[in-house]
Amino acid sequence: MSATASSSAVLRLKDINDLDPLLQPVWRHYTREELMQFDDIRPFEELPAQFIPDRRRPLKPPLMYFGWKINMDEWLHYAERHGFIVTEHIMHLDGVDEATFDEQEFDDDNIPDIIVVEEVDTTLSVAQVFWSFFSELGITPYTDCPLKCSMGLRGSRMMLALRDNYKDNSTLTPERLRELQKQMNQSEPPKWYPLNHFHWSY
């Protein structure tokens, strides 16, 4: 099946061999070209049976995330406008980046100054936005951080993950999903994407 197969065709998949060759259980290191081809594979509207874990089968499917790909820069701006920015204090020794730093002899009378820099934690700031959406809608996060990285190289790889194929989320009712989609201004419902470390296992 080609990477541009329609969603209706995807739902008729009956065998692992019907999957796109990149998604089939071949043990290898993906080349850069293959990683770029992952961006051309359409996400699944419904999870194919091959990716549903089954204890009766020794082959364990890769982790698949259900959600939306997001633009981190846009959501960071949203966090700034709505007061969700999280900062952290980074400490380092003055001059540690200089090439001669390790050659200097330090003792109790010659200690480099400690520099403290406040930086924005982009991931936590954006996560705070979605945690607020979840709280408002009554959705329980299924994992500590809802931001995950999908497979590929081009464009945005970060996504808001609402569940995965190994862990369900009973709080994701159709009504709540529609409200979340509206709050996020998403034109389409959430879909299934492969994890950035895509591999089958036993």
Judged by phi (left if over 0) then psi (alpha if -120 to 50, else beta), residue 88 lies in beta
CA distance 158 to 130: 13
The per-residue pLDDT for range 81-107, each reduced to its tens digit, is 999 998 877 776 776 677 676 667 666
CA distance 61 to 50: 7
The residue with greater pLDDT, 3 or 18, is 18
The per-residue pLDDT for range 119-178, each reduced to its tens digit, is 889 999 999 999 999 999 999 999 999 999 999 877 678 999 999 999 999 999 999 999
Q: How many CB atoms lie within 10 A of CB 90?
A: 10
CA distance 79 to 128: 8
**How much is the mean pLDDT over the chain?**
85
CA distance 158 to 69: 6
Region of poorest pLDDT, from 1-5, 35-39, 125-129, 174-178: 1-5
Q: With bands split at pLDDT 50, 70 and 90, how would you rate the model's confidence at 108?
A: low
pTM over 0.85: no
Q: How many CB atoms lie within 10 A of CB 152?
A: 20
Q: Which residues sit opposite 119 in a β-bridge?
A: 88
**What is the strand order of the sheet 147-149 is part of?**
147-149, 158-164, 64-69, 191-194
Query: How far is residue 194 from each of residues 18, 27, 44, measured CA to CA in Å?
Result: 17, 16, 10
Strands (E), the chain: 64-69, 87-93, 114-120, 147-149, 158-164, 191-194
pLDDT (mean) for 59-76:
95
Query: How far is residue 76 from each of residues 7, 46, 62, measured CA to CA in Å?
Result: 31, 30, 30
What pLDDT was estimated at residue 80? 96
**Three-state SS at 168:** coil
